[in-house]
């Protein structure tokens, strides 16, 4: 049997969680059974990453997700572009003899519409919760998903429950947690050079968070916590890794800079911007903080645990599902800078506890969040949707074997 051609529709043209999840899936997809073709809004570094992962790449200008803005002008522009994108995608599906569409966002309706028109099954990957609010928007979204999708991948249990609460059909929903390549995120392969880069001593504690700048990610709470931690541990330093100029969030970045100045942290807080050496950065940190105000199925806690780092995370979305309180990290209330500070201080003050949590975290990743497990479950879902009756190959360990030219370490 010839490999089935799968069209992966990726509306995100920047490095983010959904993009990294899709990149890992494509890099490890069984090429004897599936041929990946990725659709992006534009050319650039993201396209090159998918090509290095062994995928063909096509472009549909205007491909995007539903805007959060209620501005009539933005909404009108989106719907006009969506109709155009759907027509282009439909033509592409027919021309490329696509057997299945994998829509990498619940908010990219063009992919759903195109697959329906072309009479091709579509799997929609639910990476976020923002489309469910307000209630009316959530109702419209789930009705569209119920109508167009043949299966819905929920990246965590809380995501599955949230969509069901808004009316998504339970029989369509399949919970498949995100995975990371533990052969890449392996502390034995890391080069923890961040302290040297920042001019710090090895004895100076280093705490970090990794997230593109967005108010929902809680950078402001991280800064508040940093100020409190410095009162107890004066030589502690803090790093923030993430893109600044995304989706108009430069105002938020400026707000964070003002907070750092106000709290007298200019020499203690380091803005590193977007980085590709995330593994090495994680290996350099004593504690990883996930201060989000909302989450779905975040990758950073999984990556941190794979690198044997203890995690302090808020009690929202998939955070407490991934991080086991008291075992692989500490779960604290969202929006509470003091709780973050207390948790970090407790870990910095007890290296043995941090070490035990780090070891337990990697064991948890290998058993539940390894990329091989994730890929196998997605391929099984493809088989089910396609009705092929072919059982997915077992993925030994935490890595899916690939031919040499496909076993690439896609950049982070």
Helix and strand numbers, DSSP H then E, in the chain? 15, 13
Q: Is the domain of 211 the same as that of 318?
A: yes
122 forms beta bridges with 101
**Number of other residues whose CB lies within 10 A of the CB of residue 159:** 27
| Token pair listed for 35 | 């041929």
Cβ–Cβ under 8 Å, residues 115 and 122: yes
**Over residues 187-205, mean pLDDT:** 97
Helices (H), 155-299: 157-165, 194-198, 219-232, 250-262, 278-284
**Is the pLDDT assigned to residue 403 strictly greater than 90?**
no
Q: Is the domain of 91 the same as that of 47?
A: yes
**Is the pLDDT assigned to residue 221 strictly greater than 60?**
yes
Q: Is the domain of 106 the same as that of 29?
A: yes
- Report in angstroms the alpha-carbon separations of 124 from 36, 132, 293: 16, 15, 25
Q: Is the domain of 259 the same as that of 332?
A: yes
**Is the pLDDT assigned to residue 388 strictly greater than 60?**
no
pLDDT for 130-139, tens place per residue? 888 888 888 8
- The pLDDT, as a whole number, for residue 39 is 96
Residue 222 domain-assigned (yes or no): yes
Q: Which residues contact 208 (CB under 8 A, 6 or more apart)?
A: 238, 239, 240, 241, 281, 282, 285, 287, 288, 289
Q: Is the domain of 152 the same as that of 45?
A: yes
Q: Is the domain of 334 the same as that of 375?
A: no
- The pLDDT, as a whole number, for residue 134 is 82
pLDDT for 358-376, tens place per residue? 999 999 999 999 999 999 9
Query: How high is the mean pLDDT of the chain?
Result: 91
Cβ–Cβ under 8 Å, residues 349 and 366: no
Q: Is the domain of 22 the same as that of 65?
A: yes
Which segment of 15-19, 106-110, 194-198, 399-403 scores lowest on mean pLDDT? 399-403
pLDDT for 84-101, tens place per residue? 999 999 999 999 999 999
Q: Please provide residue 316's backbone torsions phi and psi, each rounded to the nearest 5 degrees.
A: -125, 150
The CATH number covering residue 64 comes to 3.40.50.2000
**Is the pLDDT assigned to residue 247 strictly greater than 70?**
no
- The pLDDT, as a whole number, for residue 14 is 81
Percent pLDDT > 90 in the chain is: 80
**Is the pLDDT assigned to residue 412 strictly greater than 80?**
no
- The pLDDT, as a whole number, for residue 71 is 67
- The pLDDT, as a whole number, for residue 79 is 74
Q: What domain count does the chain have?
A: 2
Starting from the edge strand earliest in sequence, which strands make up the sheet with 151-154, in order? 56-59, 34-40, 4-9, 100-103, 122-126, 151-154, 173-175
- pLDDT tier at 250, thresholds 50, 70, 90: confident
Q: Is the domain of 200 the same as that of 220?
A: yes
- The pLDDT, as a whole number, for residue 205 is 98
Cβ–Cβ under 8 Å, residues 185 and 303: yes
Q: Is the domain of 134 the same as that of 272?
A: no
Q: Is the domain of 224 the same as that of 209?
A: yes
Residue 394 domain-assigned (yes or no): no
Which segment of 11-20, 107-116, 288-297, 374-383 scores lowest on mean pLDDT? 11-20
Query: Which carries the bigger pLDDT value, residue 10 or residue 73?
Result: 10
Q: Is the domain of 336 the same as that of 375?
A: no
Percent pLDDT > 70 in the chain is: 92
pLDDT for 318-364, tens place per residue? 999 999 999 999 999 999 999 999 999 999 999 999 999 999 999 99
Q: Which domain holds residue 90?
A: 4-181+370-386
- The pLDDT, as a whole number, for residue 97 is 96
pLDDT for 44-55, tens place per residue? 889 999 999 999
**Is the pLDDT assigned to residue 390 strictly greater than 70?**
no
Residue 49 domain-assigned (yes or no): yes
Residue 405 domain-assigned (yes or no): no
Residue 120 domain-assigned (yes or no): yes
Q: Is the domain of 168 the same as that of 201?
A: no
- The pLDDT, as a whole number, for residue 332 is 98
**Over residues 250-267, mean pLDDT:** 95
**Bond preceding residue 185 cis, omega within 30 of 0:** no
């Amino acid at each position: 049997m010839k490999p089935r051609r799968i069209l992966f529709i990726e509306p995100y043209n920047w490095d983010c969680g959904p993009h990294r999840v899709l990149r890992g899936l494509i890099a490890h997809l069984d090429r004897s059974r599936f041929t990946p073709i990725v659709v992006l809004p534009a050319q650039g570094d993201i396209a090159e990453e998918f090509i290095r992962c062994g995928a063909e790449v096509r472009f549909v200008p205007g491909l995007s997700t539903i805007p959060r803005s209620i501005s009539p002008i933005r909404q009108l522009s989106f719907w006009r572009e969506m109709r155009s994108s759907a027509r282009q995608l439909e033509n592409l599906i027919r021309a490329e003899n696509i057997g299945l569409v994998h829509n990498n966002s619940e908010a990219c309706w063009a992919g759903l519409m195109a697959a329906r028109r072309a009479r091709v099954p579509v799997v929609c990957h639910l990476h976020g919760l923002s489309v469910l609010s307000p209630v009316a928007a959530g109702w419209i979204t789930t009705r569209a998903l119920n109508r167009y999708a043949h299966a819905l991948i929920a990246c965590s249990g809380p995501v599955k429950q949230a969509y069901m609460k808004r009316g998504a059909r339970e029989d369509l929903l399949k919970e498949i947690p995100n995975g990371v390549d533990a052969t890449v995120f392996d502390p034995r392969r890391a080069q923890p050079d961040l302290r040297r880069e920042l001019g710090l001593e090895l004895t100076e504690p280093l705490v970090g968070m990794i997230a593109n700048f967005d108010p929902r990610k809680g950078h402001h709470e991280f800064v508040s916590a940093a100020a409190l931690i410095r009162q107890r541990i004066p030589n502690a330093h803090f790093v923030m890794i993430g893109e600044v100029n995304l989706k108009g969030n430069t105002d938020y970045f400026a707000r964070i800079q003002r907070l750092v100045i106000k709290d007298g942290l200019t020499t203690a807080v380091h803005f590193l911007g977007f980085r590709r050496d995330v593994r090495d950065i994680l290996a350099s940190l004593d504690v990883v903080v996930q201060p989000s105000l909302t989450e779905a199925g975040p990758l950073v806690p999984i990556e941190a645990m794979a690198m044997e780092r203890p995690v302090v995370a808020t009690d929202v979305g998939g955070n407490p599902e991934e991080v086991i309180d008291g075992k692989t990290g500490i779960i604290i209330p969202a929006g509470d800078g003091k709780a973050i500070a207390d948790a970090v201080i407790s870990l910095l003050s007890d290296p043995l506890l941090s070490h035990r949590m780090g070891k337990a975290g990697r064991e948890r990743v290998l058993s539940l969040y390894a990329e091989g497990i994730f890929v196998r479950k997605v391929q099984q879902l493809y088989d089910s949707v396609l009705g092929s009756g072919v059982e997915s190959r077992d993925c030994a360990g935490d890595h899916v074997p690939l031919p040499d030219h496909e076993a690439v370490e896609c950049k982070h």
